Structures are given as C-alpha cells and as structure tokens.
Structure 1
Amino acid sequence: MKKFLLIVVLVLIITLSAGAETPEVRDNVIDIFDGHGSPMLFIDQESEEILYANDAAAEFYGYSKEELAEINIAGINVLSPEETEEEMAAAVREERNFFQFEHQLESGETRHVEVYSYPQVFEGREILLSIIHDVTPRVELAERNRQISNYFYTTLLIIILILLLFSFLYYKNYQRAKKRNKEIERLNKLRQTFIDADDSLVYLKDQNLKYLFVNDRVAEFYGKDKEEIIGIDDYQLSEPEFAEFVRKTDKEVQEKGELIRKEIKWRGKVYNSTKFPVKLLNGNYGIGAYIRDITEEYQNKQKLAIERNKYFQTLLSIGDAVMIVNNQRQVEMINNVAEKLTGWDQSDAEGKDYRSVLNLISAEEGKDFSNPVELAFATEETHELEDGAILIAKDGSKYFIDDTAAPIKDEDGKVKGVVVVFRDETASKEQKEKIEYLSYHDPMTGLYNRRFFEEELQRLNVARNLPISIIIGDLNGLKLTNDIFGHNAGDKLLLKATEAFKESCREDDIIARWGGDEFIILLPQTKRENAEKVVNRIKENFNKKKTIALSAGIAMGVSTKSSTEEDIIKLIDEAETEMYSKKTVSRTDNDLKHIENITNILDEKSSREEAHADRTAELAAKLAKKINLKEAEIKKIINTALYHDIGKVAVDEEILNKTTALSPKEYDEIKLHALTSYRILNYFSDTIDIAQYVLAHHERWDGKGYPKGLKEKEIPLAARIIAIVEAYEVMTSDNTYKQKSISKQEAVAELKRCAGSQFDPELVEDFIEVLNDN
C-alpha cells in the first residue's frame, strides 16, 4: 500500500514538474527518484531508451547509472524487440500499467520483476515511468509453489487416476466379487440345500469344538434354530451325558488328526458317524462330521443277518445235501450233509470247480446225461437230474442220488449262481428194490408171496407146461411154537421148512408162502408121481432139521392138471382138500407127538422135572383115593400132576437149574409157567379138560395166590390137591432152589403151619393121614 502511495505521489510530482518547467522542481523529482528504494527507470516511449535510472536500479541491474542510460530497454528485457515494443505501447496507451517481465542483469542472471509503467512527460519528452519490483523470490516461490502445486496436482491427478483406476478395478473386482459372492451365495444356498436335504446330521466345529455350521437335521435333532446353535458347544446345547458322548469322538479326531468312522449306539438308536479334521481360515483345525441315523438300516441288517443266518442254518441243517455254485462254476458253500456225501470239507471244497466235488456219472455204463447245473445256468430255470445218476465221493464211494438245480437270481433277475439240492437215494433205491422185492416175496422166508404165485400161475398155465402139479403144505405146530417159545422160535421153524422146500425142488419151480403156516409149490411139466417124490423129499429134509419147535411135520396135498380143459384154480382146491384130509386123519397122533415133544424138551432143560412130575402124580393119586374120588377123577388128577409144570418149557434153562434163591424178576418169570401150561394143555383135545386145574395149582386158600387170586372152594379140587402134594414133594426132595431136602416130619409141620392160609386145611389132614398110613 505504501509503495502504491509513493508511486502515486511520484507520478503527481512528475506531472506537476512537467507543468512548472523549473530546475528546482526537476531536481526535487530526481532526488525523490534517486532516493527511492525500488529500482526506477525513465524510458523514452519512442526510442525505448533508458533515459534515467535511479541508484536502486543501478544496484539491482549491476550496471552503473550511466551504463543503464546507454542501454535500450530491450537490453535488459528478455522479451523480443517486438514483444517489448508491444508491451510499451500498451503502457503508453494506458491499456495496462502493470507488467511482469524477466530482466537480465549485468551478471547474466535473469530476475523476475513486476513493472509498473505510467506514461509521463519529463523535460518535454514522453516517457514511461517504470518502477521495477524484484519479485524473483516470490516468483520463484510461486514457481516452486506452482511446481509444488503442479507436482501436487499431478500427484493428486495421478493418485486420482490411480484411485480411479483402483476404483475402476475395485468396481470391476467388486462387480466380479459381487457376482462371485452371488455365485458363492447361490452355491452356498445350493450346498446348504443339498446338505439340508441330506438325512444325515452335518456340522462343522472350530478348534474349541464350538459349532460353526449346522444343517437342518442338526437343528431338528436338538430342537433349536440354527442361529441358536452356532457359537456354542455341546455342553451348552445338550445334557452332559450326551455332550460327553459326542465330545469323546470329537477329541479322538483332534488327537489322531485323521478321519474316523464309527458305528455308535445311543439310547436305542444306531448312528453311522464319520468325523474328520478340517483346516479353518485361521489355520487351526476344526471338526467336520456326517452322522447318519442307521437304526432302521441296522435293524434291517440285523433281521437280514438273522434271516441269512437262518437261511444258511437251514441249508446246513436240512436233511438234504446243498451246494451253492457261483457264476465261475466254483463252489461257494456246501452243508454238512453234502460234506458227508461228497467226502469234501467246506474249507476244501470252497473255490473248487463244482464238477470235481459233485462228480456225477450215469449208472448205465457209457450213457451220457444232461448236467442240471449247466442247464440251470443256460435256461435260468430249475432242472432235475435224470434217474440213475451216481455220485462218486472223494474216497471213491458211490451213491445213487436225486438232484435238483435251481438258478439264484438278484434283484434285477440276473443269474448269480445255482443252488444244487441233492440227496442220497441209495437207501431209497434199495428200499424201492426191497419194496418191489416184498411186493412179490414173503419177508420172513424170502419165498414168493401169494400175489406173485397167482400171477405166475396164470403166466405158466399154458399147454407147453402140462402136466402142471401143485403141492400145498401146512406146517404143524407153528401156532403152538409161537405161543410157547415165542415168535422167534416160530420164525426159525418157518425158515427150516423153507430150507426143506428149497432143497427138495428145482430152481424153476415156484415156491410160495400161501398163508401163515401154509406153503404152495407150482411144478410145471411135472407128473403126479414126480410131485409125490417131491413131497417125500420135503418130509425127509424137514425131519433132518433140528429145532426147539414142536412141529410134528408138514401135512401136504398134491394135485395135477393134465389137460388144458382143467381149471387151474380147482387144482389148488383139490391139493388143499387132500392136505386137510391128511392133517385131520393124523391129528390125534400129532397131538401126542406134540405133548411128547414138549415134555422131552422140558426134561432136556431140567433133568429133575420128570422125577418131580412122577412123584407128584403118585402122591396126588393116593390123596385122591383117600378122599374117595371116582376113578375118572383120579385119572384127571394124575394127568394134572404129570403136566402141571409143562409150561416151564418156556422158562430159561439157567433159571430152571439155578441152585440159589431166585431173584424177584426170576421168580416172576417162573410164575408164568402156570399160564403157559394152561395154554399148552388147552391146545390139545386130550388135555383140554385138565388145563383149568393146572392153571389154578398155585392159587392159595386165603386168595393170595396166582394167577387169578382164587380162594377156598373157588379153587378146583384137583388144583388144591396138586398144591399140597407138590409142596410136600419139593420140600422132601433135593431141588434147584435150596441146598438140601427136609425131613418128612419137618415137611408135615410146614403143611400144618400153612393149612388154612396156603392150603385147604381138610385136605392137609387127609394128606397127613396118607403119609402116616404109608
């Protein structure tokens, strides 16, 4: 502001001095001009010459004032002459009075100046009063500021450009990130959808075992929202017992650092747990888990395992042999029955070609047969083995077998193998042959049966076989033998008769068992006289057979067909009639032979039985006479005494001859002799009348005897007599049941003691009198 005022004053002075035209004024102007601290120049407007310069100008420009007065303004102005002239013209015209130039000093240095130029008239000349202000520091500062500003703005621009670039890139990245995030979000949602759709419990825990992520199933399992579960651990989420249960496997994964699969059970549920370490963003490891409820699957597997076990146990335990063959024709399994039949153990057979284990051939040498296993594979249907197949076992044994092969199919209906069920038909085949044999043979004797005989009779009843003779024979004493000695003895008798028939006939003759004790023989091309010879040979051969049986022989009848007109059936009737006629005629003789045969057998078993029977009969006769019985009654009593122990023929020989006391069981067997005696005597017409007396001879007067428990007069008189005299005879004779006999007096005392309990008391007194008389 001071500078501006000074310039204004100076301009006013110059203006006044120009009007005064006095030296004093001029001098005053010059003094002010020289004394001013700012460089000042008087410049001729026309010539652009510096007319005058003050001291400050000389000091500033480095020239002397005189030197400056000789210099054109263009000498210090860096502008071109044209530019200088133009600028001065502007100042003259007062279009502008402020200029900024670069002035060159005497040293060559260029300084920035502000020039205030005003057109004036001095000493009659038109000048420009130019006041120069060195603004180099300011300009330089401004330049520096400008440069700094430029640098700043350039930098700022660069920064802005960079920021714009980064913003653009950021925007692009943001867009990409946004897009990617949307894609990630979409994928996360998709993943979440998939994970939520999974029926498994899926979660992720951090290193502190707090939940970072859960799916819907986990939320449902705990009955909470997902947001409630995130960030908490199992102890905050569930009861301590379950939390500890879950924590245990989590810790195991953390400690081992590896995936762990387990099947775990909790309160009736079964879970398939898969847990594994997961590296988190912070570098730590959390726990990922897939836990699936497999309770139903587990139960189904259990049921399936049970069913499979039942299936295999059934296969292993069924009576038939079972083999399972896979598609490679290898044995997968054989059961115990198959092991026994084939001779192969399961461990040895497994993996072997089934044909080496199930080694089959045809029963007919050289005959091929279709393999049912291969047929089952080829046709996918069940096939059976042809008849007559033989299994060759590992040890070379052979078995007739029956075989069925059925395809094993999977869910898609594809054949995965074949199950072979086979059984040992050897016994069945033998049984079948046996049945076939028995259908035409008598099982006891092995002779043909009636059915076969009748079929053969019709087949052989042709003219070329005439004459045809038939022999019918009846085996005497078979029933009695069965009754006395049992059916084993009867069977032996039948077999002896069979031997006699076979030994006496030709191989082509048909010998058959016609009935229980009857036989029939068909003799093709045989005359009657030759048939009679066969009968005689049969009798001779039979009589040679030694048996314990009571047979007195074989009664036989013969008939012969000589022409085709004769009825072959009537031929049988004729032979049968002749046989029964001969049997009737010889019946009495046969009965006597039977009784004699039985007593002989008994005597052979026990030598004392005959003496015992005779002694008992003698004493019984005396007592019968003592009580004045008739002769006929006495005879019956004698016969009763003779045969009262005939039933002992069926008692074991060792028991009959035992020298020590009988055991209860042995005594029970001895007691049966009364009933056996009754049955024997009841069989024959000559002894049937005394059978009841023999049956009762061990009854007691007090009713405690056997076999019926009769008492007193219910017991037949003959039986009461035999009971007393037999007891006396046993006591007074050496026998097999005690060491020594007792005296007559001792025996009488025993009779008296037992009178009224075991024996008829009146008969005891009569018998004692008999003894005393003798």
Structure 2
Amino acid sequence: MRESRERLTATLHSIGDGVISTDKNGFITNLNPMAEKITGWKASEVKGKMINEVFSLRDEKSNISFNYQITGVLNGKGIHNFASSILLVDRNDIAKPIDGSIAPIQDQYGKRIGAVIVFRDQSMNRAITRDLRIMKSSIESSINAIAMIDLNGMITFFNTAALRLWGYEKKEEVLRRPIRYFWGKDFEKFQVLNKLRENGAYFGELAGRKKDGSFFDVQVSATLVTNEDDQPVCIMGSFVDITEQKQAEKTLAEEAIRRRILIEQSRDGIVVMDQEGGVFEANQRFADMLGYTMDEIYRLHVWEWDALFTREQLLSQTQLVSEAGDHFETKHRRKDGSIINVEISSNAAVFDGKKLIFCVCHDITHRKKMEEELRRERTLLRTLIDNLPDAVYVKDRETRKLLANPADLENMGLKREEEVLGKTDFEVFPQEVAKQFYKDDMFVLNNRKSIINREERLVRPSGEERFLLSSKIPLFDEKGEAIGLIGIGHDITEQRKANERVNYLSFHDSLTGLYNRVYLEEEIKRLDTDRQLPIGIIMVDINRLKLINDAYGHPMGDQLLKTSSSVLKDVCRKEDIIARWGGDEFVIFLPKTSVKEIEAIKKRIIEQCKRTQVCSIPLSMAIGFSVKTRADQDIMKIFKEAEDNMYQNKLIESRSSRNTFLLTLKSALQKKNDISDEHIAYLQNLAQIFGETVNLTGTDLDCFVLLVTFHDIGNIASPDELLNKTSPLTKEEQSIIQRHSEIGYRIARNIDELSGIAYAILSQHENWDGSGYPQGLKGEEIPLLSRLNAIITAYDTMTRKNKFNQRGGVCPKVRALKELKRCAGKQFDPELVNLFIEMINNLPE
C-alpha cells in the first residue's frame, strides 16, 4: 500500500500539482517545487509566513478575495474545493486559473493540526479544468454515497446520494458532525480506524444509522488520504447500499474508464524516462507520434528517437533535469525515419529512490512548416516590395510608418528603414507637404475608401521637387475595422518633364529657345486687332550661315543662330514676340509699335551685331520691316512687305559686307599663321614674278596672287594647339589638319571673290607623284595654280623664321633651292621647280 501511495504521489508530482501545507494557525510549513513554480515563491522564502500573504485567491469574474476559504478549513469547516472561477495571483501579480482543494490535516486521533492546499495551474489547458468540473459534478450526482471525514472524525463532505442514503435532506444537517452519529455500533468505528492506520484503506460492511434512527447495511470503501510527506490528511469513504451493490460497481467501473480516457485522449505524447534514457512509462499518443507499438516503445532509449542530440549529450541532459523542469524544442525521428519537430516540457522526480524524467511532447511539425512557409512568403513579398521602382509604404491608424521600401526611403532622403519606422510625415517632409499627405491619409482611414492614381507633389528634404502618381488603400482587420493603409507612389517626374518639354517644343524652337513659326502664326491671328495698332513686323536674315556651316561645321552654325537669337532678345522689348521663322530667318512681331520705335530697335540690332563675333567673324544681319497702321490692311501683306524690304537690304549691304568679311578673314588668317602684312606683300610680289615667269597673264595671274594670300584659309577652323604643335603629329591629328584644304575649298566656293581659286585651294597638297591629298591627283591632273603655290609655299616655309625652324634656324636660300630640287618629280612639278630656281637665282639679293 505504501508503494501504491508513493507511485500515486510521484505521478501527481509529474503532471504538475502544487501543494502548500500550513500549521493550524495558517503559517506555511511547506511548498513543493511545483507550488514554487506556480506561485513564484521559493519555499525557503515563505516558510513561517501566513498563507494569505503568499496564496492570494480571487474570483475570476468579481475579483473578490476567496482567501476566507483557507481560514474556514483551518477553523474546522472541513474540505473545500476551489470553484472553477478561482484565480491565483502569483508573486509577480500575474493571475492564473487554478483548481484544487483545501483540506484540514488531522493527526491519528482526529485532531486538526493544519491544512493542505493542493492546486494545479490551469493556464495551459482550460479543457482539463472543464473535465475536472465534470468529474466533480459526476461525484456529486453519483448514485454512490460518498463522504469525507477529517482526522478528528468530523464529516467534511457528504454528497447528495449520501444524504439520501442516510435519509437527510440538507448537507448542513450532517457537515461538521462526528461520524459516530452515523454508525450503528461504536466498536466498528475503531475497527475501521485501525485498518486505515495499518493499510491506509478499508473495505467492508458496516451498519449505518439513518436520520430517523433506523439502521441499514452499507458497504464501505474508505481510504486514508496522505500528503506528499506521507502524513494522513483525511479519510474518504464510499458508501453503497448492499441492495444496490451491482449498480455501484458499474458506476465505479465507468469512473475508472473516464479517468483512463483523460490520460489516453491527451493530444500530447507523455513519456517517463529513467536516468539511463530508457522508457519507464508512456501513453499511446507518444507511441503514435513515433510510429511504434507500445511494446516497442518500452524497449527504446531516448537517443533512438531524438534526432538533434547525440547519445552522450542526451545522457548528460538527463542528469541536469531538475524538479523545476525545462522547456525546449527538439526533433524526433520516427520509426520510418521521418523527422518531426517537437516541443518538450520536462521535469524530474524521484520515485522509489530513482530519478525519473517526465516529458510532455507536443508535435509542432505543422506549426514549424507553417512558420517556414510564412517566413518564405514574407521574404518573397519583402524582396518584391524592396525591388519595385515605385515607392511602397504601410502606415498605421495614427499614420506612423510601419514599412518603407528603398524607393520610399529615397523620397524621404533616408538610407535605412529604421530611421523612419514609427514616424509620421510631419517628422520627415516640409509642413505643407505633410499636411496634404495627412489629409489624404485621414480620408482613406475615416471613409474606408481608396485613393487611386492621384497626382501628388513631393518635396524631398534636400529641396528637390518630385511628382508622384499616388494610390492609398485602407487595411482592415478581421472585424472589418480600418487599422492602417498601404501606399504606392509611382514617380512621374520625368514623364511630367517630358510632357512639359513636348508642350514647350510645340511652341518653341529647340535650338534657340525662341518661339517657333506655329506659335507666331497663332499669335498673329490673335493680336491682329484694332486695339493692337500700329503693328510692326521685322524680318531678319542671318548672313553667312552657310559659310560658317561649311567652314566650321554645323555645330558652329548652330552657335551663330543661338548668338543671333541672344542679340535679338537683348535688344527687343519684353512684350515683343521674337520667333525663328525657319532656317536663318527670324521674325519680330511688335504690337502697338510706331515706325519710329521700330527704326530704333533696328538700329540697336545693327549696333549690337558690330560688337558681336562668331568664329572671329562679325555678326551680320539683313533687316527689313513694315508697319500696319489701319484696320483694313491685310497683315500678311504687311508681312510680305517686311520680307521684301529685308531682301532689298541684303542686296544693298551685300558688296560692302563681303569686302568687310574678306578683310576680316585675311586678318584672322594672318593672325592664325603669324604672318605680317609686309610678308604677305612679299609673297604676293614673289607670286607676281613667278607667274610672269611661267607666262601667266590676266585673270590667271590675279588668281595666283590671290591664292598665295588665301591658300591656308581652311586653317581658320583648325585647332590652334595642332597648328602650333612642333612635335610630330599623331595619325588622328594629321587627319584633322589635312581637312583644312577641304574646309578652305568650301569657304572659298561661298565667297564670290575667292570662288575662282576654290579648286586650287582644294588641290594645294596634291603631290606630283600622286602621294598627296585629298584626291590623290598626280602630274598635270593637279591644277597649275596649285603646283605653283606648292613651290612658293615650301620655299617660304624654309626661308622664313617660323615655329617649325626655331631650333635649326632659317634655311639658307641655296639649301632651300637644293631641297626643292631634291623633291622635284615627287612632291613638285620638276619643270616648274627648274623655272623657280632660275628665277630666284636671277633676283637681286
């Protein structure tokens, strides 16, 4: 019987019962380890304290203290079971649902020496509490008469069946009364007590005395209830009318089945192990979890199913498990080799002198799988959000940021998401921007409606202005309440700029930035009214645009147009409309402008052109205007008159302009080549003599003299750094320099005075043997003037001090003529070289 009690005590200890005992005055005498865990108090801290200081009971619904129940038991009111609504407030002020009972402790003579409180933490499984209430109800409603007697022989519990069996109607008639009033014979009382002391239990028949004094036969099954210290606490007896014995046996059998179901129907596996890791006890659920039979389970060791730790580690852990217990996760290997995730709650207890490890195993494989799937989905979703070009964010009900992707962080001028989490837009953006965002957020949250593709202006902390196509969608909880919002912002700044650019270009010239012809035509229609009279129109044509394009390339021609437009904008008034009409023509539309005012504007344009140069060439414009003074005049005829006047001005100024331009070109060329007027005159004289020597006459002789002066006109467009370079040129640099003859050809072809020598300029670097450029001509395919010019130019270069002979000095005449002779037949016409040498030798020194 002692072994049975010890096994029962160990089993109760393993499933988590807390036990607190007191002396008869209510001072705590003991707390078991589970009571320490549940209350948060250590036994060493509370021994000697009043029970009400440590064990605080409250009603779950009313929050009223129920500690008076403890006082009642101490005062002899018998056993008291906790109601289902009782909460225990632990040391940390945490309320925990518990069940259990408070019972008096009596010595062997029935004297009350204290109380014992047995309780269990029901936080993890209210279902167990419900089942216990059912069991208690079953006992109360059982057809078996059940009673509990304290050690003093006083009745502490009498169920309804017992009342009926003894013929009473109310429990108050029997509770706290001595048991002798209910037995027929006193000697039987002592017989039962002796058996209980010897065996801890009694089973037999007694004579009972009913309320009316009559006697009846009753079968008694009594047990001496002891605490964890094996001290008797009370006597519990079951009384059955002999006539109903069969029914009582059936009831007990059903009760036993229900108790077994409680254990076996547990959703968690339960296993008890010894210190060697072998299975001491297990339930069917544990066997099912691992796929073994119960017989196979009892032959296993922990390392045969634990897949996470080694045998040595597991044996070491079993030694470390204490009564306080532990909670951890591990992996179990099933019989078929598959792995499951398990959550373990374990604690140790000593049974029959041996340490046992009690483990409750909860299969969390599905939970782990779901957690992993959620983690993967979250990672996938976050990766997608973070890599979207659009700004994505989440705000809570108070518009605080809960999520911000990199695009959203960029809008806020931040690098890390942690810098904005928990903040509102007022802590990030300028006030006026934040106010608009807040207004939209509140609309979405309060009206539970989305905002889709609304254009928003955003100013970043750096001051940069951006435009977003913004959508805001409310977030709802499971009750349908708006708890926040999701925002998506598509940056349309560049698209907006592009649209503005398209709109701008539809009415502006892309090169000069002036209005274009389309815009001007619309404005002429709009402003051609009586109120705008007089209306002036100025037509402007930029001179020498084609020449600049041919000489310097179209980029420089574009620069000429831009410079011309700047001159017109600087000279004209703010209200005047200046437009590029097309090509090199511009139109100035002047509402409410008199002839006198227009003439003043024309004069300012001319003066400004004189002060402006492009490529060292003075800016030149042909200008004509006309004025509409009456409403009946056709504006297009006024436009035509201005155009005609412009062309007439171009013809009148043409000769003078060309002469000025030619002198400008000559001056620029001399400066580029570092040649003085005196040396030019010397070369012209030398060309005159050489031309006469080879019998040139009239126009040919004049062209030869002109060629000597302007043959290098293409160098105007050559970079100075290459022209002045004294070290050998690279192939790329040579290619650039060699283009000067073609450039010179295009320039000369567009100037009437030089058009006669244009082809000679193009051919000036052709060699007699065909090794020259750009066309590879040879012999007499080369124009005569080009062959003559090549000899004079080479002789002049050798005999004149320049950048190419600064180190070696000027070449003497004899040596220069010898060099010409050496190159005759290769670079130069041999016959012309002989004539030139003879001519030079005959010239006076």
Higher-helix-fraction structure: 1
Say whether the 8 Å CA contact 2:451–2:473 is kept in structure 1: no
Amino acid of the residue matched to residue 543 of structure 1?
K
Residue identity (%): 28
* Counterpart residue number, 1:276: 345
> Is it true that 1:674 corresponds to 2:741 in the alignment?
yes
Query: Matched residue of 1:608: which SS?
Result: coil
Matched residue, 2:253: 178
Residue 727 (structure 1) shift: 1.6
Structure 1 residue 610: deviation in Å? 5.8
Inter-CA distance 175–702: structure 2 relative to 1 (3 Å threshold): farther
Distance in 2 separating the partners of 1:759 and 1:218: 113
Name the SS for the 2:582 alignment partner: coil
CA change 1:202–1:583 in 2 (3 A) is: farther
In the other structure, the counterpart of 1:373 is 441
Aligned to 1:407: 473
Match of 1:477 among 518, 523, 544: 544
1:296 positional shift: 4.4
CA separation of 1:250 and 1:442: change in aligned 2, threshold 3 A? farther
On the 8 A contact 2:683/2:708 being kept in 1, the answer is yes
Identify the match of residue 290 of structure 1 among 362, 365, 381. Answer: 362
The DSSP-based 3-state class of the residue aligned with 1:728 is: helix
Q: Whole-Å Cα distance in 1 between the matches of residues 440 and 382 of structure 2?
A: 27
Distance between the aligned counterparts of 1:770 and 1:181, measured in 2?
147
* Counterpart pick for 1:725 among 784, 792, 809: 792
Q: Which residue of 1 aligns with 2:602?
A: 535
- Pick aligned residue for 2:376 from 286, 303, 312: 303
2:726 equivalent to 1:653 = no
What is the distance in 1 between the residues matched to 2:735 and 2:540? 39
2:421 is equivalent to residue 354 of structure 1:
no
Of 185, 198, 205 in structure 2, the residue corresponding to residue 165 of structure 1 is: 205
**Structure with more strand by fraction:** 2
Q: Structure 2: give runs of 5+ residues left out of the alignment.
A: 1-190, 196-201, 207-217, 222-244
SS at match of 2:578: strand
Q: Aligned in 2, Cα 1:669/1:179: closer, same or farther, shift over 3 Å?
A: same
| CA displacement 1:568-617 (0-9 Å, x = unmatched) | 12322222122223324544443333332222222334432766665555
2:298 to 191, 206, 230: 230
TM-superposition CA deviations, 1:104-130 (whole Å, max 9, x none): xxxxxxxxxxxxxxxxxxxxxxxxxxx
Contact 1:219 1:229 in 2 (8 A): no
The 1-side partners of 2:564 and 2:642 are apart by 19
Correspondent of 2:812 among 731, 734, 743: 743
Residue 838 of structure 2 corresponds to residue 769 of structure 1: yes
Identify the residue that residue 466 of structure 1 maps to in structure 2.
533
Moved more, 580-589 or 432-441: 432-441
* Structure-2 change in CA distance of 1:525 and 1:279 (3 Å): closer
Give 3-state SS (helix, strand or coil) of 1:508's partner. coil
Picking from 310, 326, 331, the partner of 2:396 is: 326
CA distance in 1: counterparts of 2:619 and 2:428, whole angstroms: 61
After superposition, what is the alpha-carbon deviation per residue over 1:21-64, rounded to whole angstroms, capped at 9, x for unaligned? Answer: xxxxxxxxxxxxxxxxxxxxxxxxxxxxxxxxxxxxxxxxxxxx
Task: State the SS of the aligned residue for 2:470.
Answer: strand
Kept in 1, the 8 Å contact 2:394–2:486? The answer is yes
The answer to whether the 8 A contact 2:444-2:472 is kept is yes
**Do the aligned partners of 2:429 and 2:459 also contact (CA within 8 Å) in 1?**
yes
Residues 246 and 381 (structure 1 numbering): CA distance in 2 closer, same or farther, change over 3 Å? farther
Task: Give how far 1:669 is off.
Answer: 3.6
1:706-725 matches, within 5 Å, as 706-725=773-792
User: Counterparts of 1:266 and 1:737 in 2: how far apart (Å)?
Assistant: 95
Taking the aligned partners of 2:517 and 2:714, their CA distance within structure 1 comes to 35
Matched-pair contact (CA < 8 Å) for 1:510–1:523? yes
Mapping for residues 104-115 of structure 1, pairs under 5 Å: none
Q: What's 2:641 paired with? A: 574
CA contact (8 A) 2:341 2:365 kept: yes
Q: Distance in 2 between matches of 1:649 and 1:262?
A: 88
Equivalent residue letter for 2:253: K
Contact 2:321 2:347 in 1 (8 A): no
Deviation (angstroms), 1:736: 1.6
Tell me the amino acid that sits aligned with residue 190 of structure 1: Q
Structure-2 change in CA distance of 1:321 and 1:266 (3 Å): farther
Q: What amino acid is aligned across from residue 362 of structure 2 in structure 1?
A: Y
Tell me what 2:181 maps to.
none
CA–CA separation in structure 2 for the residues paired with 1:724 and 1:252 = 109
The aligned amino acid for 2:826 is S
Deviations 1:204-248 (A, max 9, x none): 5443223443767966866x545333322266x58xx95864774
For 1:341 and 1:683, locate their aligned partners in 2 and report how far apart those are by CA, in whole Å.
57
For residues 308 and 722 of structure 2, what CA distance do their matches in structure 1 show?
88
Name the stretch that deviates more: 537-546 or 342-351: 342-351
* Deviation by residue 1:703-759 (Cα, 9 ceiling, x = unmatched): 443334444444333333322321221111111223122112222332233334333
Pair 1:374–1:748, CA change in 2 (3 A) = same
The residue aligned with 1:382 is: 450
Q: TM-score, normalised by structure 2?
A: 0.61
Residue 510 (str. 1) matches residue 577 (str. 2): yes
Decide whether the 8 Å contact of 1:216 with 1:226 is kept in 2.
Answer: no
What code does the residue aligned with 1:523 have?
L
Q: Distance in 2 between matches of 1:528 and 1:328?
A: 69
Cα displacement string for residues 507-561 of structure 1 (whole angstroms, at most 9, x for unaligned residues): 4332222223211122223444653443233223322335445356211222232
User: Structure 1 721/432 Cα, relative in aligned 2: closer, same or farther at 3 Å?
Assistant: same
Query: Given that residues 559 and 572 in structure 1 are in contact (C-alpha distance below 8 angstroms), is that contact kept between their aligned partners in structure 2?
Result: yes
Distance 1:182 1:482 in 2: 111
SS for the counterpart of 1:325 is: strand
Distance of aligned partners of 1:768 and 1:479 in 2 relative to their CA distance in 1, 3 Å threshold: same
Q: Distance in 1 between matches of 2:379 and 2:622?
A: 71
CA-to-aligned-CA distance 1:75-95 (integer Å, 9 cap, x gap): xxxxxxxxxxxxxxxxxxxxx
Supply the distance in 2 between the matched residues of 1:487 and 1:202 (Cα, whole angstroms): 93
Alignment of 1:209 onto 2:282: no
The farther-off stretch of 167-176 and 444-453 is: 167-176
Closer, same or farther: CA 728–606 of 1 in aligned 2, 3 Å = closer
Give TM-score, length-normalised by structure 1: 0.66
Amino acid at match of 2:786: A
Distance 2:330 2:308 in 1: 17
Q: In the alignment, is the contact (CA less than 8 A) between 2:616 and 2:668 conserved in 1? A: no
Aligned position for 1:75: none
Q: Is the alpha carbon distance of 1:730 and 1:242 closer, same or farther for their aligned partners in structure 2, counting shifts above 3 Å?
A: same
State the 1:476 CA deviation.
Answer: 0.7
Q: Which sections of structure 1, spanning at least 5 residues, go unmatched? A: 1-154, 196-200
2:611 pairs with one of 544, 558, 561 = 544
For the 8 Å contact 2:468–2:493, the answer to whether it is kept is no
Contact 2:745/2:761 (8 A) holds in 1:
yes
Change (3 A) 1:227 1:737: farther
Contact 1:399 1:425 in 2 (8 A): no
Alignment of 1:72-111 (within 5 A): none
* Aligned AA (2:759): Q
Change (3 A) 1:230 1:474: same
Distance 1:183 1:451, change over 3 A: same
Output the CA distance in 2 between the equivalents of 1:202 and 1:517. 99
